[in-house]
């Protein structure tokens, strides 16, 4: 008998028929003798509907009140799922984040979990009940309702699994696992049976939107066994996200290829090459709440350097406005930008012990005549920025070059 935390996303509970389907899946685990805690999201579309109502009233709704409103989405789902299970003769009880309780800080709309009281859940589990918990939400120390931000239901699932020392945390979604790359671009892409937390983090942050990145960090930190599964396919075992040591020795060098279309590059030319210049440029950008991705600085001639970085394409105009003010202060020569770019990354813990991976990546791209505009590397990832028109081609040739097309 295992203790399993299952999380079902908005698509999986998007209608009452789908909620019945979830109830059947949960019931199966219950019948096998497992203890099950279920975390659910709002029915798909509901969170957006609620936010739209708020925006009709004011473009900048008060964050505390926005959390009061949007947290109702998950509250509806927990009640409905509990009813569906009870109607099927299976004892079940729903809990809001506040009822559990899931204590968070008071950073409304993006709160962090501080503590989880597992007493009520354990009591119910020991009585043979299914425990259903609203994802995405908690309460602060004063009893105000908070939400964890978009995708926060994954984090709730992992945090509950950690608090309960669950045997496994299963994230049910509309894909049946993590793929070597997007199958819409490479039909030969295949599902990975396992992936390490670190790889998953790199894959997720690079645009493979299977799991919310915070939940993966959380799972890695608390050693929660995390599995991504489809709520619609019965047979698949999904992808297990695991620590490196548990993996098959025959693991390929590269686990997957991630990409992001939404890249814009900004270069500030002729920047004085002196200490503190990076902060002078990026400080105001960060202050304007713009997320910066890759950063490259090259020393040049005459004590001048070129400084480049990428931002999300939607932030480009805002970033240039900020830099126009910075430019005068730091005496830069000019600002250039390019928004028709994308980023392609190869990810794999195997590259640590295999030299020549970068060279192979660059050679593969060069053979197709694809010019590399920026390069950035980490321990287990190599990213290149290229022209967006080459994205599909680059992903396909890299997928083949690193032997991802065939089963491992």
What the block records as the tokens of 330 is: 């730091």
Residue 57 interacts with a second copy (CB under 8 A): yes or no: yes
Distance CA 393, CA 185 (A): 9
Hunting for tokens 């892409």 — which residue is that? 189
Q: Which of 64, 313, 318, 339 binds a second copy (CB under 8 A)?
A: 64
Q: Is the peptide bond before 101 cis (omega within 30 degrees of 0)?
A: yes
Q: Which of 29, 34, 44, 68 binds a second copy (CB under 8 A)?
A: 68
Q: Which of 6, 11, 41, 75 binds a second copy (CB under 8 A)?
A: 75
Q: What is the DSSP letter of 290?
A: P
Window of 5-13, 96-104, 211-219, 377-385 that interacts with a second copy by CB under 8 A: 96-104
Q: Which of 3, 21, 44, 72 binds a second copy (CB under 8 A)?
A: 72
Residue 66 interacts with a second copy (CB under 8 A): yes or no: yes
Window of 69-77, 184-192, 306-314, 367-375 that interacts with a second copy by CB under 8 A: 69-77
Site string for a second copy, 76-95 (x = CB under 8 A): x-xxx-xxx-xx-----xx-
Q: Residue 83 or residue 185: which is nearer to a second copy going by CB? A: 83
Q: Residue 98 or residue 135: which is nearer to a second copy going by CB? A: 98
Q: How many residues bind a second copy (CB under 8 A)?
A: 38
Q: Which of 4, 5, 13, 19 binds a second copy (CB under 8 A)?
A: 19
Distance CA 245, CA 63 (A): 42
We find the least distance from the C-beta atom of residue 248 to a second copy, in angstroms, to be: 43
Window of 61-69, 153-161, 228-236, 308-316 that interacts with a second copy by CB under 8 A: 61-69
We find the least distance from the C-beta atom of residue 41 to a second copy, in angstroms, to be: 14
Distance CA 44, CA 285 (A): 34
Which residues within the stretch 110-149 sit at the binding site for a second copy (CB under 8 A)?
A: 143-145
CA nearest 186: which of 357, 388, 387, 401?
A: 401
Window of 63-71, 217-225, 300-308, 314-322 that interacts with a second copy by CB under 8 A: 63-71
We find the least distance from the C-beta atom of residue 125 to a second copy, in angstroms, to be: 17
Burial of 250 (0-12, 13-18, 19+ CB in 10 A): exposed
Query: Is 144 within 8 Å of 62 (Cβ atoms)?
Result: no
For 385, list phi and psi in degrees, rounded to 5.
Answer: -100, 130
Query: Is 193 within 8 Å of 237 (Cβ atoms)?
Result: yes
Window of 55-63, 238-246, 361-369, 380-388 that interacts with a second copy by CB under 8 A: 55-63
Residue 177's Cβ-side half-sphere holds a number of Cα atoms within 13 Å equal to 20
For the stretch 16-22, contacts whose Cβ atoms lie closer than 8 Å and that sit 24 or more positions apart, written own/partner, are 16/80, 16/84, 18/231, 19/77, 19/80, 19/81, 19/84, 20/84, 21/231, 21/232, 22/81, 22/84, 22/172, 22/231
Question: What are the beta bridge partners of residue 328?
Answer: none
Site string for a second copy, 250-279 (x = CB under 8 A): ------------------------------
We find the least distance from the C-beta atom of residue 95 to a second copy, in angstroms, to be: 9
Q: Residue 56 or residue 287: which is nearer to a second copy going by CB? A: 56
Q: Residue 145 or residue 164: which is nearer to a second copy going by CB? A: 145
Q: Residue 89 or residue 369: which is nearer to a second copy going by CB? A: 89
Query: Is 72 within 8 Å of 54 (Cβ atoms)?
Result: no
Burial 337-372 (b: 16+ CB within 10 A, else e): bbeebbbbbbbbbbbeeeeebeebbeebbeeeebee
Q: Which of 45, 62, 286, 356 binds a second copy (CB under 8 A)?
A: 62
Q: Which of 2, 16, 286, 321 binds a second copy (CB under 8 A)?
A: 16
Residue 98 interacts with a second copy (CB under 8 A): yes or no: yes
Residue 53 interacts with a second copy (CB under 8 A): yes or no: yes
- In 92-192, the DSSP E strands lie at 92-95, 102-104, 113-116, 130-134, 137-139, 145-147, 168-173
Window of 16-24, 297-305, 336-344, 380-388 that interacts with a second copy by CB under 8 A: 16-24
| Pair type for strands 3-8 and 35-40 | parallel
Residues that bind a second copy (CB under 8 A): 16, 19-20, 50, 53-54, 56-58, 60-62, 64-69, 71-72, 75-76, 78-80, 82-84, 86-87, 93-94, 96, 98-99, 143-145
């Amino acid at each position: 008998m295992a203790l399993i935390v299952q999380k079902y996303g908005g698509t999986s509970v998007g209608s009452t028929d789908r909620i019945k389907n979830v109830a059947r899946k949960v019931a199966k685990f219950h019948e096998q003798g497992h203890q099950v805690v279920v975390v659910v999201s709002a029915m798909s579309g509901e969170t957006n509907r609620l936010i739209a109502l708020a925006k009709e009233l004011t473009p900048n709704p008060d964050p505390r009140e926005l959390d009061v409103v949007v947290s109702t989405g998950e509250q509806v789902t927990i009640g409905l799922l509990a009813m569906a299970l009870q109607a099927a003769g299976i004892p079940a009880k729903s809990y809001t984040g506040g009822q559990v309780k899931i204590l968070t800080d008071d950073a409304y709309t993006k709160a962090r979990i501080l503590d989880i009281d597992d007493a009520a859940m354990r009591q119910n589990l020991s009585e043979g009940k299914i425990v259903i918990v609203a994802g995405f939400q908690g309460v602060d120390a004063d009893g105000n309702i908070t939400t964890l931000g978009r995708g926060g239901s994954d984090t709730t699932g992992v945090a509950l699994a950690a608090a309960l020392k669950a045997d496994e945390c299963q994230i049910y979604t509309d894909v049946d696992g993590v793929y070597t790359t997007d199958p819409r671009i490479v039909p030969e892409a295949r599902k990975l049976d396992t992936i390490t937390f670190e790889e998953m983090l790199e894959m997720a942050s690079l645009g493979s939107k299977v799991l919310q990145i915070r939940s993966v960090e959380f799972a890695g930190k608390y050693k929660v066994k995390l599995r991504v599964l489809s709520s619609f396919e019965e047979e698949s075992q999904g992808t297990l996200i695991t620590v490196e040591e548990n993996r098959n020795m025959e693991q390929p060098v590269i686990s997957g290829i991630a990409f992001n279309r939404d890249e814009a590059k900004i270069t500030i030319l002729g920047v004085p090459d002196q200490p503190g210049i990076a902060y002078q440029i990026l400080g105001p950008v960060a202050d304007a709440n713009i997320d910066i991705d890759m950063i490259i600085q090259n020393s040049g001639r005459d004590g001048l350097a070129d400084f480049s970085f990428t931002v999300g394409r939607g932030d480009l105009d805002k970033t240039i406005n900020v830099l126009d003010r910075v430019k005068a202060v730091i005496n830069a020569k000019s600002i250039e930008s390019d928004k028709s770019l994308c980023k392609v990354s190869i990810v794999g813990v195997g590259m640590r012990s295999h030299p020549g991976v970068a060279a192979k990546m660059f050679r593969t791209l060069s053979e197709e005549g694809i010019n590399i505009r920026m390069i950035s590397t980490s321990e287990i990832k190599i990213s290149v920025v290229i022209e967006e028109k080459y994205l599909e081609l680059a992903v396909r040739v890299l997928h083949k070059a690193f032997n991802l097309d065939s089963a491992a």
